[in-house]
């Protein structure tokens, strides 16, 4: 029996979303793939690929809805606690008072916008027909993610890196890539946040592009079959 158009799209979105979650769990568990920056940010966040595919295969709307669900899932994994406990934890990390407004910004800038940006791939209609368009789509959504993460680093997490750097100077903590970047840019929060987030967003984007190019012909066939069904 032929599936209705909307039902088929929902099934594709659900399945790709499930693949993204499984990949997220696996990359956290497999040594080498679990590499991340000291204050968050996976070097090989290849769960980005199926999320981008949702937008490319079935459109902008389903891409945004699916990536919103993925954002909520990630927030839940990172903070399966009450908001009050979250507030206390964040104040301990940053040394500043966290209001509900700031927690809202954290959810928006660290989860909603960065992950929903993957759904913007739906703006690129030929992303699974032309390799160049696929690469441009990955770069575009990565830039949106970088902008949001950079703003978060400056607005919300600036005191964290300042505290960490001061502890390194006092000899209480060892130097890491985050404090090294902060020192290298002369303690400039904007340059630090951009550089810190650029590293893992760049490595993730490159990994997704490489994998995508290796199996691009398969994606193309799936896309063409879907168009024929519609």
Q: What domains are there in the chain, each with its CATH number? A: 5-229 (1.10.1760.20)
Q: How confident is the model at residue 66 (pLDDT cuts 50, 70, 90)?
A: very high
Is the pLDDT at 205 greater than 60, yes or no?
A: yes
Is the pLDDT at 13 greater than 80, yes or no?
A: yes
Is the pLDDT at 1 greater than 50, yes or no?
A: no
- Express each pLDDT in 144-175 by its tens digit: 999 999 999 999 888 888 888 988 888 888 89
Give the number of other CB atoms < 10 A from CB of residue 78: 13
Average the pLDDT over 44-68 and give the result: 94
Annotate 121-132 with b (16+ C-beta within 10 A) or e (fewer): bbebeebbeebe
Of all residues in the chain, what percent carry a pLDDT higher than 70? 91
Is the pLDDT at 229 greater than 70, yes or no?
A: no
Chain centroid to Cα 211, Å, comes to 17
In the predicted model, what is the mean pLDDT of the chain? 88
């Amino acid at each position: 029996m032929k599936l209705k158009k909307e039902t088929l799209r929902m099934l594709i979105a659900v399945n790709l979303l499930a693949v993204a979650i499984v990949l997220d769990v696996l990359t956290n568990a497999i040594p080498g793939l679990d590499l991340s920056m000291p204050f968050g940010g996976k070097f090989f966040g290849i769960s980005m690929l199926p999320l981008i595919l949702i937008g490319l295969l079935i459109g902008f709307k389903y891409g945004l809805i699916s990536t919103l669900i993925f954002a909520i899932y990630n927030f839940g994994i990172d903070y399966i606690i009450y908001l009050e406990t979250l507030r206390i934890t964040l104040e301990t990390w940053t040394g500043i008072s966290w209001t509900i407004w700031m927690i809202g910004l954290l959810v928006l800038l660290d989860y909603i916008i960065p992950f929903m940006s993957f759904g913007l791939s739906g703006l690129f209609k030929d992303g699974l027909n032309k390799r160049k368009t696929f690469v441009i789509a990955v770069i575009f959504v990565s830039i949106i993610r970088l902008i949001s993460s950079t703003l978060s680093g400056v607005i919300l997490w600036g005191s964290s890196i300042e505290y960490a750097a001061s502890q390194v100077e006092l000899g209480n903590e060892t130097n890491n890539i985050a404090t090294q970047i902060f020192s290298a840019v002369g303690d400039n929060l904007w340059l630090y946040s951009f550089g810190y987030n650029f590293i893992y967003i760049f490595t993730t984007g490159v990994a997704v592009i490489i994998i995508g190019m290796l199996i691009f012909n398969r994606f193309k066939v799936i896309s063409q079959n879907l168009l024929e069904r519609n």
